[in-house]
Homo-oligomer: A and B are copies of this chain.
Amino acid sequence: MCPHALIPFKPSGSKSRLSGLLSLEEREAFARAMLDDVIAAVKDVNCRPVIIATELYDSEDIQVTIADKDLSGALNEVLSQGAGPVLIIMADIPLANGQAIRRVISTQSDIAIVPGRGGGTNAIFIQDPTKFRVDYYGMSFLKHAKIAKDMGLSCEVVDSFLLHTDIDEEEDLVELLTHGEGKSRKYLEDLGFILSAEDGRVKIMRESPRSNQ
């Protein structure tokens, strides 16, 4: 039990598709708040979080590993070390909670995958990491399902919208303001973002001027 939870994280310049709404500084603070929400969720089910960062990143109490190669390469190097079951979970899925993650790590299959929106992989749980390798970017969900099949591993697809919802674009913030319960939702609300339902479609609006906290 107590699998490691590897959390890839890009501290600088992330979430560029939100640049119409948030400044660079705000986007980076927002990305950190989402990371904190994911860390809280994995801790809630006794996983041991390890941040796989693309550059130096200070975290008070979480182990940080700097990835000196591409994401898949860095993760596969960790997997090859084979120290028990591993969960890999993205840092931009702040709706994650313990209950959803428990469904993933309690799989009876060799592998459990939670697809992300747009063909990606938002979480993957690997019982024996020496038998699997990851291949992110593009249609990674289909790639991971195929890798499992090719390696003769059973694979469960976990049906969770909380883990499926990665926050990349403006409309994704509607999900966070509707369902979020953590720091990243509060961060948006402190900036003045609210939900608005004009002509039946729900959008987000920024109500007050930017706070300077």
Contact = CB atoms under 8 A, between A and B. Distances in A.
Interface residues of A, number: 30
**Stoichiometry, copies per complex:** 2
A113 to B, nearest CB: 11
A10 B40 CA distance: 43
Dominant SS at the A interface?
A: mixed
Contact of A139 (B138, B139, B178): B178
Contact of A117 (B159, B162, B175): B175
Given A119-B174, A174-B118, A195-B119, A99 B201 contact: no
Interface in A112-141: 115, 117-120, 137-139, 141
A161 interface: yes
Interface of A: 99-100, 115, 117-120, 137-139, 141-142, 157, 159-165, 171, 174-175, 178-179, 195, 197, 200-202
